[in-house]
Amino acid sequence: MTSIDKRKDEHIEYAMDPTNRKTENSEFDRLVLEHDCVPEISFDEIDVSSMFLNQSISAPLIIGAMTGGSREGDRINENLAKAAQKLQIPLALGSQRAAIETGRTQKIREIAPDALILGNLGATQVRDHGVEFVKRAVESVNADAMVIHFNPLQELIQPGGDTDWSRILSEIKKCSESLRIPIIAKEVGSGISVRSAKKLQFGGINWMEVAGRGGTSWARIEMSRNSNDYLKKVAEPFLDWGMDTVSLIKLIRRNMNTANLIGSGGIRNGLDVAKCLILGCDLAAVAQPFLSPARKSSEAVIEAVSVYTEQLKWALFLTGSRNLIDLKKVKVYEK
């Protein structure tokens, strides 16, 4: 097992621990949708299908990036891929760095030939290895889009993490100019601010996955793995660093009408998905809640995802919305 594989398996283990989540209540809980006690629709008519990257999907929900493979990761991805294929929802892979560096095959396409598959690499790896490396990652899974993750806090806390973030934007711009598929920029739990989103758009990226504060905390996960007392002291005030998902979605939507937006970071049910869409997201992505089911079986993932889509349909019914176009017109209040 390589050291990256070992680290990835540890991440999976620590991400299951509830203490490695943000401590306060979610900002989603403070949002209330306008209830319609006269919905005038039949529940059976409700349609939550959507379009993403020119393909029809059964719900505006992405299985969020978690693992690109490792001993434990391969089994997880197999279960996630089976569910993505069966339910026709997109699957975002976790970082493919180790697989590409070691030449390991990722059998995603054999399992999910028709599902939308999003590849994944870190921003600093893209800068260091260039366009050809990114193309190998795309080709290895026949990806429909390439996700580049931006995780400066995680890199600061992670032993041996990459703390040189110079020249990232210019290298990513080269990538976005030479790839045939879209690039999606994402954080991993601290969020993409308006300032960052504008820089990313300048770098040729028009899809952003917010991955804001509110769900999985990478600072907490890395701190749990770390035994360096000095680093622990330094990192302490940054454990809940970042900007909340709900605030970021509102801010980006207010300031940047043209960016395509994926809401993520702490989305814990289908009602949160509905709130993301009303706030102006095109889709929502959910990672950690699908981890435990993915360690069990594909059936467990299918059930977990189905709960989200069913809850989304309930939100549509109770707001008198027949489809996602109607949902976007629903009023949202703050408690």
Is residue 269 at the binding interface for ligand FMN, with CB under 6 A as the rule? no
Is residue 205 at the binding interface for ligand FMN, with CB under 6 A as the rule? no
Is residue 66 at the binding interface for ligand FMN, with CB under 6 A as the rule? yes
- Neighbour-count burial of 139, counting CB atoms closer than 10 A to its CB (0-12 exposed, 13-18 middle, 19+ buried): exposed
Helices (H) and strands (E) in the chain, counts: 15, 12
Give the other-Cβ count within 10 Å of 331's Cβ: 9
Residues within window 99-128 making contact with ligand FMN, judged by CB under 6 A:
120
Q: How far is the CB of 72 from ligand FMN (least distance, A)?
A: 10
Taking the least distance from each CB to ligand FMN, the nearer of 162 and 326 is: 162
Contact 322, 313 (CB under 8 A): no
Interface with ligand FMN (CB under 6 A), residue from 65, 141, 157, 259: 65
Which range binds ligand FMN by CB under 6 A, 163-171, 176-184, 285-293, 319-327?
Answer: 285-293
Pairing of β 91-92 and β 117-122 = parallel
Contact 271, 48 (CB under 8 A): no
What the block records as the tokens of 124 is 């600093």
CA dist list (Å): 303 to 22, 214, 291, 296, 300 = 25, 24, 13, 12, 5
Taking the least distance from each CB to ligand FMN, the nearer of 118 and 330 is: 118
Residue 136-175 contact track with ligand FMN, rule CB under 6 A, x = bound = -----------x-x--------------------------
Q: How far is the CB of 10 from ligand FMN (least distance, A)?
A: 10
H-helix or E-strand spanning residue 213: none
- Chain residues that interact with ligand FMN, rule: CB under 6 A: 11-12, 15, 64-67, 94-95, 120, 147, 149, 186, 188-189, 211, 215-216, 264-267, 286-288, 291
